[in-house]
Amino acid sequence: MKREYDIAVIGGGPAGLAAAEAAYKAGVKDILILERDFRLGGILNQCIHNGFGLHTFREELTGPEYACRYIDRIVETGIDYALNTMVTDLKKNPDGSKEITAMNREDGIVKIRAGAVVLAMGCRERARGSMNTPGYRGAGIYSAGTAQLYVNIHGQMPGRKVVIVGSGDIGLIMARRMTLEGAEVKMVVEIMGHSGGLKRNIVQCLRDYDIPLKLSHTVTDIRGKERVEAVVVSRVDENLKPLKGTEELVECDTVLYSVGLIPENELTLKMGADLDERTNAPKVDPFLQIEGTGVFACGNVLHVHDIVDHVTEEAVNAGNNAAEFVLKGFVSKTAGGVVESADKNVYIPGVDEDKMTCTRCPNGCMLSVSRDEKTGEIRVSGNLCPRGDAYAVQEYTAPKRTLTTTVRIKGGRCRALPVKTSSDIPRERIRDCIAALKAVEVEAPKQVGDVIVKDIAGTGVDVIATGRA
């Protein structure tokens, strides 16, 4: 690792990788990516579910697959990256250069100068403490992302009887994941009158597994001193205040909190930047620059995005702008800025129950489906191509799913290897496939696309690796 670069990118997740590649393509070759984990890819490495890449790659990928696409590009360009490296400080020098303080085991504490910096540190989860939930602090209380890390990376189950607080997408996805791993998810509790997650996830993560969603409810007490033993769930009024007399005791040993994300901006504060009080993110100009500094921000460190494809698009803008700043000393008015996430297709009970979002292409058509009571004919509207019609009919009559899970692996840095079925399987066969995969253990190394199991559970579909080990 050198001590001076044209551009330094802080964070090696989806935003950092896309920004670095964009800057390289824009003509700046002297780039460094600083990543605190032992590998590039960021949070995508533990997001083993599918649903990524429809806009960027025009196909549906899992998180590790999406990350590997960009990691391969970074390796091909020869862009420098430092792993297991923690950035502790960032400041602007009088000569206009930026100085980064970082540390790792090999180099100790180092000072790195850069002509421009891209902030791509991502975000962190809100913890139980921010919710002011009464009760003891016994074992068994996790954020949903921490539980995801344990299950999908370390191959360890945090508990067996689970209540999930918050119905955002990560909470819904972990409800399904914990169920597939053998836990009993008692319910998902949401304080609002509607879920903040995608309707698709309501269907595929809750309804597929008969997991109750209790809207307008919250956890008002956690019982158990050494380990969680139960929670008290109460209905809330229109002011989100618990209603007396509605308390329900739910036995469980684990509580997962999925109650929002906060941009990771301690470094931004250290360099003296102003934060937007509404988002806890830096104030930037239309070019994603903390005005006049040569420091650019993108991805979830700027605002929390619904999908990673929008993170990538915004990061490409930031990388292009940082390159122009280095090459010209300014950013032109044609540069791209913030990418706003589209409105999500959220689940609202009792509204548009016959509607679904097609996932067969990036259009994401909202489909209306009905069956003629006399003829039995299924009618579909809203689709822009024949694939939407076929998708709706299949979902209405004989749903199929891509199974994403993990298998045990020996000889790698992680204990779990992410895998998926190479194509959709009947929904009713998912548990058969999970049971068959419980007995599977593979040896490292493994590459994306390697066949792990042929013809899983007699479905005629193979199971392939979606990550590397």
Question: Which fold is adopted by the domain 4-124+261-328?
Answer: FAD/NAD(P)-binding domain (3.50.50)
**pLDDT tens-place string over residues 244-293:** 999 999 999 999 999 989 999 999 999 989 998 888 889 999 999 998 89
pLDDT at 211 over 60: yes
Rounded to whole angstroms, how far apart are CA atoms 211 and 446?
34
Which pLDDT band, with edges at 50, 70 and 90, does 341 fall under? low
**pLDDT tens-place string over residues 345-385:** 666 665 555 778 787 776 778 888 888 888 888 889 998 88
Half-sphere exposure of 72 (CA within 13 A, CB side): 10
pLDDT at 102 over 80: yes
Superfamily of chain region 404-465:
CPE0013-like (3.10.530.10)
Which pLDDT band, with edges at 50, 70 and 90, does 188 fall under? very high
Section 27-56 average pLDDT: 96
The pTM (predicted TM-score) of the whole model is 0.92
Q: Minimum mean pLDDT among 26-40, 83-97, 226-240, 329-343: which range?
A: 329-343
Beta carbons of 357 and 199 less than 8 angstroms apart: yes
pLDDT at 112 over 90: yes
**pLDDT tens-place string over residues 49-101:** 999 998 899 899 999 999 999 999 999 999 999 999 999 999 988 888 899 99
The DSSP secondary structure of 439-454, one letter per residue, reads T-EEESP--TT-EEES
Domain locations in the chain? 4-124+261-328, 127-257, 355-397, 404-465
Give the per-residue pLDDT at 350.
58
DSSP letter, residue 1: -
Q: Which amino acid is at 263?
A: P
- Can you point out the beta strands (E) in 41-107? 50-52, 61-62, 80-82, 86-92, 98-104
Section 104-117 average pLDDT: 96
Q: Which amino acid is at 99?
A: E
Structure-model confidence comparison of residues 127 and 204, the more confident one:
204
Going by DSSP bridges, is the β-strand pair 108-119/295-297 parallel, antiparallel, or unpaired?
parallel
Rounded to whole angstroms, how far apart are CA atoms 147 and 141?
9
CATH topology match: 127-257 vs 404-465: no
Q: Supply the CATH classification number for the domain 127-257.
A: 3.50.50.60
Percent of the chain with pLDDT over 90: 73
Rounded to whole angstroms, how far apart are CA atoms 12 and 32?
10
**Cβ neighbours for 195, distance < 8 A, ≥ 6 positions apart:** 167, 168, 172, 202, 213, 215, 346, 347, 348
pLDDT at 463 over 70: yes
Rounded to whole angstroms, how far apart are CA atoms 302 and 275?
10
Section 416-438 average pLDDT: 97
Which pLDDT band, with edges at 50, 70 and 90, does 131 fall under? confident
Structure-model confidence comparison of residues 431 and 280, the more confident one:
431
CA end-to-end distance (rounded Å), the chain: 25
